[in-house]
Chains A and B, each alone.
Chain A
Amino acid sequence: MFSFLFKKEQQLETLIYQYLENLTRTQEHFVKAMETCLDEGLCGEFGFLIDQTHKFESKADEIKEEVNVLMYSRALIPESREDIMNLLEQVDSIPRIFELILHLIRTQKLKIPEIIKLDVKDLIRLSVESCELMIKQIDLMMKNRQGIRALMATIDHNESHCDHIERSLMTKVFDSDLDKVDKLQLKELIIALGEISDQADRVSKRVNIMTLKRRV
């Protein structure tokens, strides 16, 4: 009835959902790029997908900036303002990690050896699943629905599994006959890949705290 009085808040809600939608698109392009890299190596298609990921990552930054401007123009109460700004800041690290990984592969002309390909695919699959669950959790929080704790538990479980895969990958790389430089390059890649699920876990825990804080 009085919706015209709260245009900024409605605009903000739309922007947050736009941001989450954009994050999903970035993630899809990252997964496609990684699949291409693992199956075909560095090729034209891989380059195109990196550019697409970068395009969506830049779009995410633009939306986040718009959200910040809206917040500073007194949309929401200060406590919610701070919570949402910090949350978006944390979520925004994820597309940055996607881009970092892809650029790492392109600039260092990384070739992922056969011995670790399956584990890398597994690590990417679990990390992306954590990100999807994290987006779902944010959606539940925005709509004030149940199930946030259950999602947090699944994301936490995924993160532990990813840590396990990460350690196993490190062992395989350093036990192999690869060149020392290649080993160090792959180590950097594995650490960056593991960071995705770590960050999703951090965001998920923050969402849980935000939900608990809202209860009076």
Chain B
Amino acid sequence: MFSLLGGIFMGWSLGSNDASNCFGSAVASRMVRFWTAAVLCAFFVLLGALLEGQAGIDTLAGLTQIDLEQAVVITIAAAVTVTLMTVFGLPVSTSQAAVGAILGIGFFNQEINLAGLGKVVACWFGTPIGAVVVCAVLYKLLAYVYNRLPLSVIRADILLRVGLIVAGSYASYALGANNVANTTAVFVGAGTLTVFQAALIGGLSIGFGVLTYSRKVMETVGGKLVRLDPFSALMVILAEGLTVHFFTVVGVPVSTSQAVVGAVLGVGLVRGVNTIKRKTLYGIFTGWFLTPPVACFIALCIDFAIHLRYIPR
């Protein structure tokens, strides 16, 4: 049980950070109460993890052969990477941190499933690009329908509000289904947990993070999305959920933050406006390229350090 703490901590930190990608805009703009959003998000994260978390867990568990000690090293290295990148103010993906750390141990063991790794890296590129396309198509399609709906001002408002709650719940489901692998997949690879146990513990730890520490992030980071109009914010969350869910079916954990950034760019593409500043984009790309090698390096260092032996002269 003690060895699982690293994974549980990863899940907790993932939940506290990534809940804002699902309900941030609704909570920050006071459309939905924090506790309503947090309970819905935690419930759907757990549901997603239990119902569709297996594919991602299988992919990460199959990247390399590891033992329990190495599984603990991976979770610690990933958690340290996430903390370090956050301290330096760089947007970070827990999926990239987890895979980077697994790769570090894989290098150490000289055993890496290259086909699996290729699939994961391809999906990392596919996440923001896919979200841009999904959001642009969704926006065009649903804007056409929305503009023709015979709805009063109040009813249109209700529709957008309900839409944000439904889309937020769906994005939470996708978050749980996709990202649960980052927290506990390595323990399945090490033979400590079954897939169901991993999904349950991972889902619960992410949900715990949402319930205990996501408020601040939802109210501040989530506020960034509020600058979009409510319809665009709805499209962004829906596109994020669909993109992340697609990669869940493919079986690769991806970053919900990168999906959100892609979707926001998609809105900008359709409306012909700059939705994200160039400086923010540089930060995102830096985080995107740095996270895997940093996690890999930290995992190697920790593994090397615990294998050091004192030899008296």
Which A residues have a C-beta under 8 Å from some C-beta of B? 2, 6, 9-10, 12-13, 74, 76-80, 84, 141-144, 214-216
Contacts and interface: CB of A to CB of B under 8 A. Distances in A.
Nearest to A83: B153
Interface of A is mostly: helix
B193 interface: no
Nearest to A74: B30
Contacts of A76: 154, 157
Contacts of A142: 152-154
Contacts of A216: 139, 143, 146-147, 229, 231-232
Contacts of B139: 216
B156 A9 contact: no
A80 B162 CA distance: 15
Contact of B31 (A2, A77, A144): A77
Contacts of B29: 77-78
Classify the interface of chain B: helix, strand, loop or mixed. Answer: helix
Interface in B208-251: 226, 229-232
A10 B226 CA distance: 25
B151 interface: yes
Contacts of B33: 74
Contact of B153 (A2, A6, A80): A80
A126 B162 CA distance: 43
Please indicate which of the listed interface residues A12, A80, A214, A216 has the most CB atoms of chain B within 10 Å of its own CB.
A216
Nearest to A79: B230
Contacts of B143: 216
Interface in B136-175: 139, 143, 146-147, 150-154, 156-158, 160-162
A27 to B, nearest CB: 23
A144 B147 CA distance: 10
Contacts of A13: 152, 154
Interface magnitude class on chain B: 20 to 34
A9 B231 contact: no
Nearest to B231: A216
Contacts of A143: 152
Contact of A144 (B156, B158, B160, B230): B156
B37 to A, nearest CB: 13
Nearest to B161: A77
Interface in B15-53: 29-31, 33
B78 to A, nearest CB: 37
Contact of A214 (B30, B31, B156, B161): B156
Nearest to A9: B154
26 contacts: A2-B162, A6-B158, A9-B154, A9-B157, A9-B158, A77-B31, A77-B157, A77-B161, A78-B29, A78-B30, A78-B226, A79-B230, A80-B157, A84-B153, A142-B152, A142-B154, A143-B152, A144-B150, A144-B151, A144-B152, A144-B153, A214-B156, A215-B147, A216-B147, A216-B229, A216-B232
Contacts of A2: 162
Given A142-B152, A216-B229, A78 B31 contact: yes
A108 B76 CA distance: 83
A178 B16 CA distance: 77
Nearest to A13: B154
A142 B156 CA distance: 10
B27 to A, nearest CB: 11
B31 A10 contact: no
3 smallest beta-carbon distances between A and B, as pairs: A216-B231, A216-B143, A13-B154
Contacts of A9: 154, 157-158
A74 B27 CA distance: 11
A78 B146 CA distance: 19
A214 B229 CA distance: 10
Contacts of A80: 153, 157
